[in-house]
Amino acid sequence: MIFHKAKGVQIDGRKELCKKHPLIDYLNPDTVYIPLVQRHLKLEPVVDVGDIVKIGQVVAEVGGFGAITSHASISGEVKSFKKVWHSSGKMVEAIEIKNDFKNQLDERIKAVKNVKELTREELVEIMKNAGLTGLGGAGFPSYIKYQTKENIHTVIINAVECEPYLTCDYQFIIRFAKKLIKGATYMKRAAEASKVVIAYKAYNTKVEEVLKPYLDKYPDIELYPIKDIYPAGWEKYIVEQITKKTYKSLPAEIGVIVNNSATAIIYSDAVERNIPLISRPVSITGEGIKEPKTFFVPLGTKVSDLIEQCGGYIDGLEPMKANYIAGGPMTGRAIFIDDLVVNDTLGAVIIKLFEEKDYPECLGCGKCADVCPVYITPTEIKKAYERKDVNLLGLLDANKCMECGLCSYICPSHVEITDAVKKGKELLRKGAK
Amino acid sequence: MARFAGGKAPFIRIANEKGENTKRIMRDFLIGLLPVILFSWYKNGISVYLDGNISVLEMFYPLFFIIMGGLLAYIMEGIFFYITDKDNRNLKGIMRRLNTSYAVIPGVILALLLPLYTPIWILMFAAFIATIVGKMLFGGFGNNVFNPALLGYAVVGFTFSGIVTDINVIFNGSEIVMDSYAGATPLGTLASFRGTGDAFSYQALVEPYGNLWDFFLGTIPGALGETSAFAILIGFIWLAFRKVIKWFTPIIYIATVFGLSWLIGIMAGDSGVWFPTYSILTGGVMFAAVYMATEPVSTPTNPLGKIFFALFLGVLTVLFRFVGSLPEGVGTSLIVMNIFAIPIDTYSGVIRTKLFKKPGPLYISILVGVLIILVIYTLVASGNMYTAITSLFNLGQVI
Amino acid sequence: MKNFLNKYGIIISLSLALLLIFIFGGMYSRYMTNQIDVHEQERYEEKLLTIVDEGSSLEEFASSGLETEFNKPNGTGTYQPELIDSFLVKDKDNNDIAIIYVVETYGNSEGLKVAFALSLEEDDIIDMMVIEHNETVSEPGQFYNKLIDENFFEQFENKDLDVIDFTVDAVSDATYSSKGFEVAMQYARELYADDFDDYEIIEINIQVNSVNYNYDLTTINDYQFIANITFGKDNNEASVALDNDFNYLQIISGVEPTASEIEALPNYIADSGEVSNSLRVVSYDDTTNTIEVRVRGYSSAGIIMEIELNSSLTDYNSIDIISTNENYDDPYNGGYDGAEAPAVEDEYLVEYTNNDVIMDSVAGATRTSEAMIDALTWLDQLLVELNGGS
Ligand code: SF4
Ligand code: SF4
């Protein structure tokens, strides 16, 4: 139907910026700040100022639904509890750990012998203890997906990374192709699924190149190239492409679990050596960076350190004419102060220059409605939000919005339409209560 | 530690891309009008000049008139900005406002809607109504409920109807209508059939002006821009190709007018295809379909809404043509539908997401129901006008 | 100053631009509107020119615009047709060859505008053209349309202006329209005659002073009547010889009438009432001295009589009825004693020859009686003339 087709949009990736350099290890920063939040949950620290912590040691935790633990990503002394900028766009409490450069590992970290005999429950438990979360940006604790009662037949590894600029997943895969394959198999076992599908962007032939050699050995693993459109990395889109089925809220409904590729790589370490989630790849990129690079860094690393590694900002950068974006350019947040630390959901920091311009008002071209992957009508939601018409917001399904940002992206008049829909969604949530 | 600018996701915007923003859309729209502008210049100026019938000064007048339409709208908006925006009372400020206001387009469309010999002061008045009343007082570009050009045209059409209809019968610069035309535009001829009970005939409707091919090419009397389906078609292809307009809106609209006219023709006892063809080639149906029913601001935003809009518009056009007191079915129906664009937008927004979940079906049935009622009313009301409809019933009895 | 310009420069220039458009654009559009009329005139003249084949240009002509009233076709009074335009038509050598009058008359309704082109050389109508009309056209084959269907307009082509009966053949069901065109044509001729001195509408002005039988036996076979007329503008007098149908044969004395007057003569004679009886001399034979006369009675064939004169031509020898077609035994006519023709005739003859008396009219055979009375009265008169007036 003309009016009901999610086509997605091809966006100029600009990924070449970051692809010049391979993944660079930056594993021993001076200081790290382990944020005491995980999604919207506040974590309780289990260490005190002055404590000496080892790599992988639990430093904070939270219970209840979505219970999760945070681990020290370097060894050293807990200096203080300090507020730092977090990728959520707010300042949050964090544990400051000063590196002693001894790289002492927690005693739990050691090679696991009986990998082959681990049961499903044990594998899920490992996931939970490792504090493994979705590294794609959602930050949702992975183990919860695996606790499902549904019968899972397929695990999909999402290596699509559809947002422009970002290359951290891509470079992570190139570097740790074998770990990806292993992590994927463990995930398959954790879900008792029959196969794994690795979805990647069709034009990233390098991914295919590095993964192909393993396919003979792992017959349950399939590769699935996906068109270069945004939001091809969206869970629903990938699942629909691969299984030709749709679901309502969770892919588990139709027997599918989707995990990010970086998550799978980290998971293979967690299974084989009990290394929790303490590091991740981060792209430092954008036109405002002298030499964009992708780093493999401990969580809590200061982004300013990484920017320094990239040679700093370009000369003559006027910060007020640039955005400091935490996350991808489509869904990320503008951070006002360049004092950000790396957390589990931060895949990139982008310094993007912009020009101040006058924009006309919404001309009603309808491109936003055309492009919306969930078939809602952003302009109407905006109007309903402006009138605070909660009822209409409900009729218009404002809550369906997945905040992909496409509507604002496509808007020729630069209307902050995504923001309006987000606010409408919020109002609906509050109003509905 | 540097302080960075704020902003909202997404940080990549097509609007910042070269050639992908509203400015580009508006420029392309203007280019889309070019075939029509050129044709009307050709028909009213160049070709007559080449035949040696008019002076050079007269030859340039059509172009002058159209350019004046755009220029007047532009200047008036400039003055409006000067008066209302105290902070921007300098050249730069006003230019900035004008840059995001796109005043020229309604001005040019307005000029194209008017007959060539409209006095300049009427054009000025119409431009004032269009830009200041129709657009700026509604809150400027993007907020106007009505198509500004159409509003200007409608107001002028009502207040100076004598002047505008009188000069409407002039074929072009030199061929002043004498006896070969019944002294009217094709639509006027059609309107003269109303209430007479006569079945319309090709002889009466088409032949005075040539044949349908002339209608297609546009060599018939009428307002500057509306006559040539051919030029409009070129514009349509360009606009659809550049994705400035949705290709289906004009097509659905025209198809609706075509289909309904055909039915009415059959009811009046003439099932020839010439009548529906004639119907869509006269009275600016084509022009409205391509340049006004697709005008983004005053029509529904989402694609489903556009479809409903086009359907309603088609039915209303036929309704007003045959039943109302104005021969100008197109303009009237557009103005009416400009108002209804708002609820249609909301309804279709809901339908799009809910589809067959509650209250999708309810909304669908409301829209479709109203549409069907309108269609039936149109058919009955226009059918009544022709005694020939009785033959339909007679036929029924025979069978 | 600079300050002022900085402050108000924009608004002033914007307003100025508006004003300029208003003034110059207004002038431009005014010019265009005027051109409408110019072109309309051009097209109109072009169209008029097509009436005259040889014509290559028109020149405005100042006509006298003569005023004459004509009857309205519906008989509700008179009106003055209006002269709308007049043009001289020139050929390619710039010679005047024709004149076009565009006149507005009254057909079924007002506003019947017709152009007539008159040839200056031939004094005839070259052709005509309907410019505008409000006649009824809604009925196919009716009213105005019937004029077209019946080729009404063709009769104007090459019509001579000197035709005495300067009228057109009206089309039934479109008589008012026909009349409107006729008036237009007649008015055009009036104008033509008024505007051009070398043409005059043939004016027939004949006064019949007396009409008499020709009793002169020497010329009786050449002409049967002699009329004395006064005619023309100069009141010319003439005595003319006419045949039995009052057609002009020759001049006897006085000024000779013009051809058109000759043409018009029979009607004048007939209308004068000077000769009312129905007798005509058929022939005179000077060898036998017999005159054959025919007189109309009840039947149109009449009674034919032969009168034989004596040799000295002073009296008649005999009067014989050669044939009669009278019939007066018809009971419807009252009948005359049930007798058959020529009973009444004979009775008249007997009474005349024997008693020299012309009987009064006989009841039941009035017409026959009158015929006989006419014939005998004529004979009386002839004899008087033959005898030198006694
Ligand atoms: S941000 Fe929301 S409303 Fe906008 S396109 Fe994406 S899903 Fe649709
Ligand atoms: S918000 Fe932007 S994309 Fe959506 S209709 Fe308005 S101008 Fe078009």
User: In this predicted model, what pLDDT tens digit does every residue of B354-375 receive, in sequence order?
Assistant: 887 778 888 888 889 998 888 8
**Do residue C65 and residue C157 come from a single domain?**
yes
State residue B181's pLDDT score: 37
* For range B270-295, the mean pLDDT: 84
Give the closest residue to B185 by CA, choosing from B330, B283, B298: B283
For B324-342, what is each residue's pLDDT tens digit? Answer: 655 567 888 898 899 999 9
* C89 belongs to a structural domain: yes
* Residues B120, B25 share a domain: yes
Task: Assess if residue B292 is contained within a domain.
Answer: yes
Do C257 and C283 share a domain, yes or no? no
The answer as to whether C101 is a domain residue is: yes
Question: Which stretch, A225-234, B217-226, B268-277, B330-339, has highest mean pLDDT?
Answer: B330-339
CB B250 within 8 A of CB B308: no
Q: Is residue B45 part of a domain?
A: yes
Helix or strand or coil: residue B92?
helix
Q: Residue A1: pLDDT above 60?
A: no
Same domain? B248 vs B341 = yes
My answer on whether C167 and C254 are in the same domain is no
pLDDT value, residue B251: 95
Q: Confirm whether C216 is domain-assigned.
A: yes
Counting the structural domains of chain B, the total is 2
Q: Check contact C-B (3+ Cβ pairs < 8 Å).
A: yes
Q: Distance of CA A15 to CAs A164, A204, A280, A324, A335, Å?
A: 6, 11, 19, 17, 21
Name the token pair of A45. Answer: 């620290």
Q: Which residues of A11-20 are buried (b: 16+ CB within 10 A; e: fewer)?
A: bebbbebbbe
- Are B102 and B199 members of one domain? no
In this prediction, residue B395 carries a pLDDT of: 40
The pLDDT mean for chain B works out to 80
Give per-residue pLDDT as tens, A336-390.
Answer: 888 888 888 888 899 988 887 888 888 888 888 888 888 889 999 999 999 888 8
Q: Tell me the residue type at B112.
A: L
> Exposure pattern of C279-296 as b/e (b: 16+ CB <10 Å)?
bbbeebeeeebbbebbbb
Q: What does the DSSP 8-state code read for residue C171?
A: P
**Mean pLDDT calculated for residue range B258-274:** 80
Top pLDDT among B127 and C367 is at B127
* Six token digits for residue B336: 């009416």
Residue C157 counted as domain residue: yes
In a domain, B113, yes or no: yes
The Cα diameter of chain C in Å comes to 140
What does the alpha-carbon distance between residue B111 and residue B129 come to, in Å, rounded to a whole number? 13
> Which residues from B are below 8 Å from A3, CB to CB?
302-304, 307, 352
Whether residue B399 is predicted with pLDDT greater than 50 in this model: the reply is: no
Instruction: List CB contacts (< 8 A) between B94 and chain C.
Output: 10
Q: What is the pLDDT of residue B360?
A: 80
Cis peptide before B10 (omega within 30 of 0): yes
Which residues, including other chains, have CB under 8 Å from residue A389's CB and lie 6 or more apart?
none
Both B148 and B92 in a single domain? yes
Torsion region of C173: left, alpha or beta (phi above 0 gives left; psi -120 to 50 gives alpha):
left
Closest CA to B74 of B34, B108, B112: B108
Question: What's the whole-number mean pLDDT along residues B279-297?
Answer: 87
- As a whole number of angstroms, the distance between CA A160 and CA A374 comes to 19
pLDDT tens by residue, A118-158: 888 888 888 888 888 888 777 788 888 888 888 889 999 98
Token pair recorded at residue C261: 């007057």
Q: Which atom of ligand 1 is nearest to the CA of A400?
A: 7
Domain interval for residue B74: 14-164
Portion 388-407 of A in contact with B at CB < 8 A = 392, 395-397, 400, 403, 405-406
DSSP secondary structure of B348-392: HHHHHHHTTSTTHHHHHHHHHHHHHHHHHHHHHHHHHT-THHHHH
- Mean pLDDT of the region C309-321: 84
Any domain includes C64 = yes
Mean pLDDT to the nearest integer, B341-352: 90
Give the relative orientation of helices C26-49 and B56-84 as an angle to the nearest 10 degrees: 150
Out of A405-409, B12-16, C13-17, least confident range: B12-16
Q: B120-127 and C26-49 helices cross at what angle (nearest 10)?
A: 130
Structure tokens at A261: 């590729």
pLDDT in tens, C86-124: 999 998 888 889 999 999 998 888 888 899 999 988 888
Contacts of C40 in chain B (CB under 8 A): 176, 178
Both C162 and C67 in a single domain? yes
Average per-residue pLDDT for chain C? 84
Judged by DSSP in three states, C26 sits in: helix
Q: What is the 3-state secondary structure (H, E, C) of B120-140?
A: HHHHHHHHHHHHHHCCHHHCC
Identify which of C170, C165, C184 has the alpha carbon closest to the alpha carbon of residue C115: C184
Full DSSP string of C213-250: E---TTTTTT-SEEEEEEETTTTEEEEEEE-TT--EEE
Structural domain contains residue B119: yes
Supply the residue whose CA is at minimum distance from atom 4 of ligand 2. A368
Tens digit of each residue's pLDDT (9 = 90 or more) over C3-38: 777 778 888 888 899 899 888 988 888 888 888 778
The reply to whether B21 and B143 lie within a common domain is yes
- Write the single-letter amino acid at B357: K
Q: Are residues C61 and C191 in the same domain?
A: yes
Amino acid at A262: A
Q: Is residue C5 part of a domain?
A: no
C238 lies in a domain?
yes
Tell me the residue type at B242: R
Condensed to tens digits (0 to 9), the pLDDT of residues A322-345 reads: 889 988 888 888 888 888 888 888
Burial of C39 from C-beta contacts in 10 A (0-12 / 13-18 / 19+)? buried
C-alpha–C-alpha distance, residues B299 and A53, integer Å = 64
Buried b (16+ CB within 10 A) or exposed e, A401-433: bbebbbbbbbbbbbbbbbbbbbbbbebbeeeee
pLDDT reported for residue B163:
64
- How far apart (Å, rounded) are the C-alpha atoms in residues B139 and B145? 10
Sequence-ordered strand ranges (E) for chain C: 57-60, 70-71, 78-79, 82-90, 96-105, 112-119, 125-132, 206-213, 225-231, 236-242, 248-254, 279-285, 290-295, 303-309, 316-324
Which residues is C208 bridged to in the sheet? Answer: C229
Tokens 């029924």, residue?
A: B396
Is the same domain home to B214 and B321? yes
Within 13 Å, how many C-alpha atoms sit on residue B285's CB side?
A: 31
Q: Which of B71, B77, B120 would best serve as a mutation to test chain C binding (most C beta carbons within 10 A)?
A: B120
Do both B248 and B389 map to the same domain? yes
B129 and B263 share one domain: no
> Regarding beta strands C96-105 and A58-62, do their DSSP bridges make them parallel or antiparallel, or are they unpaired?
unpaired
CB contacts of A325 in chain B (<8 Å) are 7, 9, 11
Say if the Cβ atoms of A319 and B3 lie within 8 Å: yes
Number of structural domains found in chain C = 3
Over residues A185-196, mean pLDDT? 89
Across the beta sheet with A58-62, what order do the strands follow? A44-45, A58-62, A68-71
**Structure tokens belonging to residue C171:** 């089309």
**Do B348 and B202 lie in a common domain?**
yes
Q: Is residue B172 part of a domain?
A: no
Beta carbons of C26 and B78 less than 8 Å apart = no
How far is Cα A345 from Cα A339, in angstroms, rounded to an integer? 16
- Interface residues from chain B to C (CB-CB < 8 Å): 53-55, 57-58, 61, 64-65, 68, 71-72, 75-76, 78-79, 82, 89-91, 94, 116-121, 124, 167, 170, 173-176, 178-179
Reported as half-sphere exposure (CB side, CA atoms, 13 A), residue B96 has a value of 12
Among the listed ranges A96-100, A233-237, A295-299, A397-401, which one has the minimum average pLDDT value? A233-237
Instruction: Give pLDDT, residue B250.
Output: 94
Residue B306 counted as domain residue: yes
pLDDT at C323 over 90: no
- pLDDT bucket at C390, cuts 50 / 70 / 90: low
Q: pLDDT tens digits for C28-66?
A: 888 888 887 787 788 788 888 888 888 888 888 888 888
* Percent of chain C topping pLDDT 70: 96
The verdict on a CB contact (< 8 Å) between B8 and A408 is yes
Please tell me the predicted confidence (pLDDT) of residue B389: 42
Is the pLDDT assigned to residue B89 strictly greater than 90? no
Residue nearest to atom 3 of ligand 2 (CA): A411
Confidence grade of residue B237 (pLDDT, cut at 50, 70, 90): very high
State residue C157's pLDDT score: 87
- C190 shares its domain with C70: yes
Q: Which of C3, C21, C33 to mutate to test the interface with B (most CBs of B within 10 A)?
A: C21
Least Cα separation, residue B46 to chain A (angstroms): 36
The verdict on B86 and B215 lying in the same domain is no
Q: pLDDT, tens digit, for every residue of C131-153?
A: 888 888 777 777 888 888 888 88
Of A63-77, A150-164, B353-367, B370-384, which range is least confident? Answer: B370-384
Whole-prediction pTM = 0.76
List, chain by chain if needed, residues with CB within 6 Å of any ligand 2 atom. Answer: A 362-368, 378-379, 410-413, 415, 417; B 301
The whole-number average pLDDT for the span B309-313 is 94
In a domain, B184, yes or no: no
Chains A and C make contact, 3+ CB pairs within 8 Å: no
Q: How confident is the model at residue B183 (pLDDT cuts 50, 70, 90)?
A: very low
Tell me the mean pLDDT in the region A184-194: 89
Q: Do chains B and A touch (3 or more CB pairs under 8 A)?
A: yes
Q: What is the pLDDT of residue B174?
A: 40
Domain check: are C360 and C300 in the same one? Answer: yes
* Residue B56 in this model has a pLDDT that exceeds 60: yes
Structural element, H or E, at residue A114: none
Q: Please indicate whether, in this complex, the C-beta atoms of A408 and B6 are within 8 angstroms of each other.
A: no
How far is B146 from B151, CA to CA, in rounded Å? 7
d(CA C39, CA C276): 65
Same-domain pairing of B136 and B244: no
Task: Say if residue B39 is in the same domain as residue B85.
Answer: yes
Same domain, C222 and C153: no
Mean pLDDT over the full length of chain A: 86
Check A414 against B21: CB less than 8 A apart.
yes
Contact A381, A426 (CB under 8 A): no
Distance A418 CA to ligand 1 centre (A): 6
Q: Does residue B344 contact residue B370 with C-beta atoms inside 8 Å?
A: no
Q: Is residue B346 part of a domain?
A: yes
Helices (H) and strands (E) in chain C — how many of each? 7, 15
Verify that C120 and C188 share a domain, yes or no. Answer: yes
How far apart CA B117 and CA B40 sit, in angstroms, is: 13
What does the pLDDT read at residue A332? 86
> Per-residue pLDDT averaged across B151-176, rounded?
64
Under 8 Å between Cβ of A190 and A146: yes
Domain range for residue C358? 279-386
Mean local confidence (pLDDT), C251-255 = 87
Burial category of C3 from C-beta neighbours within 10 Å (exposed 0-12, middle 13-18, buried 19 and up): exposed
The pLDDT value recorded for residue B165 is 58
Let me know if residue C24 belongs to a domain.
no
Higher pLDDT, B182 or C121: C121
C73, C121: one domain: yes
Which is higher by pLDDT, C365 or C180? C180
